[in-house]
Amino acid sequence: MSARNYPAVALHELDSLSRDDRDRLLSRAEDDLDRFIEGVGPIIEAVRVEGDEALARFGREFDGAESLAVDAIAATTADIDRAFDEVDRAMIETLEYSADNIRRFHEAQRPPEMWMKEIRPGVLVGERATPIDSVACYSPRGKGSFPSVTLMTAVPAAVAGVPNPIILTPPGADGRVDPATLVAARLAGVEQVYKAGGAQAVAAAAFGTATIPRCFKIVGPGSPWLVAAKRVLAGRIDPGLPAGPSETILLADETANPLIAALDMTIESEHGPDSSAFLVTWDAELAQAIRAAVPGYWDSQNDTLAAYSSTVLSGERGGIVLASSREQAYEFINDYAPEHCQVLSKNPYEHLAHIRNASEILLGEHAAGSIANYMMGPNCVLPTSGAARTHSPLGVHDFIKTCSVGHMTAGGYAEMAPHTHRFASYEGFDGHANAVSALRDEARQKG
């Protein structure tokens, strides 16, 4: 039994829900960004006009960094050196271990610099991959510090070979960058770290300031303010994949351990009241056992995190979803398209083929979401708010662009030119057609 007074974990029975009720379960905190979009406008304009002055002011106003001055927006090499003395050696070893796993995964993900294939005799086509020149990696700090996100964004940027990666992160109340974040930055291979959070960070990357270089892209998760600024500035900077507040769905079948299921429900739900966290099952007895077990785990969290988790799991963006069948459970998961999906089953692979829309699928009771967030290697910066239907997790490909490459011999030209001439003539483009006609042969002879 719980020693604190908490609301009951919500139980949503799919068969009894109206269409509107079901739609509310599928909604996220960031679905309605209107007030945030309106609010970020003045922030963006201030950064565009005032640059570093605005960043320092917003750091003092929004982040409580009362001592933040214009000349202290950039973390120095000395700051990073000092961070290695401030962070416990065991924690540094954990950061090193995590960075190594993340690097191994993303090195395996890296595409070849170039490939070519002869698709017809004398016709070679392929792609060449090159890194994006400058990318900003955002590491949030609103409800804590996240050196894990620093590793997850900066390591693939380094693996991809981005020449000018930078890290943006809000300052703490002391006006400094979280020391473990600075350690993570150096372990990832990035030394340019700047104190800027939320909408002002997106604006700084989009326009550039005297201190912060303009970037072509920004990646990383954040609050609705960050998401709104990315949306507003999408014409100025590539906003990367949509990554907002945390969300998860656990699928538990009749073989699942209810205590582990209850324990894992607290993982993403403790991020904040704007998170979403569901467990889906078709086993009513299991659902009740999990409901009864969750409050005991809230007792092992601090008051703030327990309040976040209990708020999420007792409301419309969390709790237990009871399906009438496996098929109904799979349908709900695919409609939701969660950021994180964990399959709690003695035979998790039997469910895998039925889950089409999820940013991350973790199989079995040992694959705890927290291990995936920190240690496993695949990226934990994942598309949210249903974007898993069309987007992939952050990876090396987000820091690389490709260009098509083609080479043609005289023999290849001779085969393709007549078809090309016919196509161009049909579409009414004389220049296109002339370029593959007898006029080209004449030009070659005269040249």
Q: Which residues are tagged catalytic?
A: 339-340
Q: What is the DSSP letter of 15?
A: G
Residue 102, phi then psi, degrees to nearest 5? -65, -40
Q: Which two tokens stand for residue 447?
A: 């040249």
Contacts within 8 Å (CB) and 24+ apart, 408-414: 408/122, 408/123, 408/124, 409/122, 409/123, 410/122, 411/121, 411/122, 412/120, 412/121, 412/122, 412/123, 412/124, 413/122
Q: Which of 394, 368, 341, 401 is nearest to 151 (CA)?
A: 394
Residue 389 CA neighbour count, 13 Å, CB half: 8
- Whole-angstrom CA distances from 29 to 135, 235, 318, 368, 384 are 27, 24, 12, 24, 10
Query: 114 pairs with which residues across the strands?
Result: 128
CB atoms within 10 A of CB 303: 9
Length of the chain as a residue count: 447
Residues 51 and 208: their CA atoms lie apart, in Å, by: 8
For 193-295, list the strands marked E by DSSP. Answer: 193-195, 217-219, 247-252, 276-281
